[in-house]
Amino acid sequence: MTFRQLSARYLEPGSIWLMVLGIVFLCQPWSRFLHVYGLSVTLVGLVGFSIFSKIKPLPDDDQERA
């Protein structure tokens, strides 16, 4: 598996989930620790998504011939 495939399959969706978790951390009222680091988690997810969404896998040879 190449880095481009790894990025499209795992890193980009992982960054999306990290942003969602950061928003949940900010909105939950039970843990002060999660609330304090919620913005940092959201920003890390946002930066990761900005980077990994620009790295697309190369098209397969089968798709090019069709």
Distance of CA 65 to the CA centre of its chain: 32
C-alpha 3/C-alpha 20 separation (Å) is: 24
pTM (2 decimals)?
0.81
Residue 20 lies in a domain: yes
Domain with 28, as residue range(s), is 3-56
Residue 7 lies in a domain: yes
Total number of domains constituting the chain: 1
Taking only the tens place, the pLDDT of each residue in 39-49 is 999 999 999 99
Crossing angle between the packed helical segments 12-27 and 32-52, to the nearest 10 degrees: 150
Q: What is the mean pLDDT of residues 25-38?
A: 93
- Write the DSSP symbol of residue 11: I
Residue 48 lies in a domain: yes
- Write the DSSP symbol of residue 53: T
Residue 44 lies in a domain: yes
Residue 36 identity (one-letter amino acid): V
